[in-house]
Structure 1
Amino acid sequence: MNYHEKAKMGTKSVWGGEKDYLVHGASQVPIVPSVAYTYDDMDEWYEVATGRKKGHIYGRNTNPTVQAFEDKVKVLEGAKAATSFSTGMAAISNTLDTFLRPGDRIVTIKDTYGGTNKIFTEFLPPKAIEVQFCETGNHEEIEREVEKGCKILYLETPTNPTVKITDIERMSRAGKAAGALVVVDNTFATPVNQNPLKLGADLVIHSATKFLGGHADALGGIVLGDDEEMVEKVFHYREINGATMDPFAAYLLLRGMKTLDLRVKRQAENAMKLAQYLQKTDLVDEVFYPGLPTHPNHDIAKKQMSGFGGMLSFSVKGGVDTVRDLLPQLQYSHRAANLGAVETTVGPARTTSHIECTPEERAAMGIPEGLIRVSCGIEDAEDIINDFDQAFSYVKNVVKI
Structure 2
Amino acid sequence: MDENNFKDVQDGTKAVWAGEKESLAYNATQVPVVLSVAYNYDDVDEWQEVALGNKPGYTYNRMANPTVQALEEKLRILEGAEEAVGFSSGMAAISSTLYTFLRPGDRVVSVKDTYGGTNKIFTEFLPNLDVDVTLCNTGNHKEIEAEVAKGCKVLYLESPTNPTMKVTDIERLARVGKSVGALVIIDNTFATPINQNPLQLGVDIVVHSATKFLSGHADALGGIVCGSEKLMKKVYHFREINGATMDPWSAYLILRGMKTLKLRVRQQEKSAMEIAKYLQKKKLVDAVYYPGLEAHPHHDIAKKQMRGFGGILSFVLKDEMKAIKILLSKLKYANKAGNLGAVETIYGPARTTSHVECTIEERKALGIPEGLVRISVGIEDTEDLIADLEQAFSYLESNYPVSCS
* Length-normalised TM-score, structure 2: 0.98
Structure 1 equivalent of residue 119 of structure 2: 117
Provide, for residues 9-47 of structure 1, a one-character-per-residue CA deviation record: whole Å limited to 9, x for no partner: 110111011000011100000000000001111111111
Q: How many angstroms apart in 1 are the aligned matches of 2:259 and 2:233?
A: 27
Structure 1 equivalent of residue 277 of structure 2: 276
Structure 2 equivalent of residue 358 of structure 1: 359
Residue type of the partner of 1:233?
A: K
Alignment partner of 1:166 is 2:168: yes
Coordinate RMSD, CA, aligned: 0.7
The CA deviation at 1:6 is 1.2
Structure 1 equivalent of residue 253 of structure 2: 252
| Secondary structure of 1:312 counterpart | strand
Structure 1 equivalent of residue 104 of structure 2: 102
- Aligned positions of 1:86-101 closer than 5 A: 86-101=88-103
Q: How many angstroms apart in 1 are the aligned matches of 2:335 and 2:7?
A: 37
Q: How many angstroms apart in 2 are the aligned matches of 1:112 and 1:400?
A: 34
Q: How many angstroms apart in 1 are the aligned matches of 2:225 and 2:326?
A: 40
Structure 2 equivalent of residue 238 of structure 1: 239
Q: How many angstroms apart in 2 are the aligned matches of 1:345 and 1:54?
A: 42
The CA deviation at 1:254 is 0.2
Structure 2 equivalent of residue 330 of structure 1: 331
- Aligned positions of 1:2-401 closer than 5 A: 2-225=4-227, 227-401=228-402
Q: How many angstroms apart in 1 are the aligned matches of 2:4 and 2:139?
A: 37
Gapped regions of structure 1 (runs ≥ 5):
none
| Secondary structure of 2:224 counterpart | strand
| Secondary structure of 2:292 counterpart | coil
Gapped regions of structure 2 (runs ≥ 5):
none
Q: How many angstroms apart in 2 are the aligned matches of 1:393 and 1:368?
A: 23
Q: How many angstroms apart in 2 are the aligned matches of 1:141 and 1:318?
A: 32
Q: How many angstroms apart in 2 are the aligned matches of 1:181 and 1:400?
A: 51
The CA deviation at 1:398 is 2.1
Q: How many angstroms apart in 2 are the aligned matches of 1:148 and 1:43?
A: 51
Provide, for residues 297-323 of structure 1, a one-character-per-residue CA deviation record: whole Å limited to 9, x for no partner: 000000000000000000011111000
* Length-normalised TM-score, structure 1: 0.99
Q: How many angstroms apart in 1 are the aligned matches of 2:145 and 2:285?
A: 35
The CA deviation at 1:171 is 0.5
Q: How many angstroms apart in 1 are the aligned matches of 2:364 and 2:347?
A: 20
How many residues are matched? Answer: 400
Q: How many angstroms apart in 1 are the aligned matches of 2:133 and 2:71?
A: 33
| Secondary structure of 1:173 counterpart | helix
| Secondary structure of 1:124 counterpart | helix
% of aligned pairs identical?
65
The CA deviation at 1:399 is 2.6
The CA deviation at 1:264 is 0.5
Provide, for residues 72-122 of structure 1, a one-character-per-residue CA deviation record: whole Å limited to 9, x for no partner: 111111111010100000000000000000000000000100000000001
Q: How many angstroms apart in 2 are the aligned matches of 1:19 and 1:61?
A: 21
| Secondary structure of 1:277 counterpart | helix
**Farther off after superposition, 157-166 or 132-141:** 132-141
| Secondary structure of 2:97 counterpart | helix
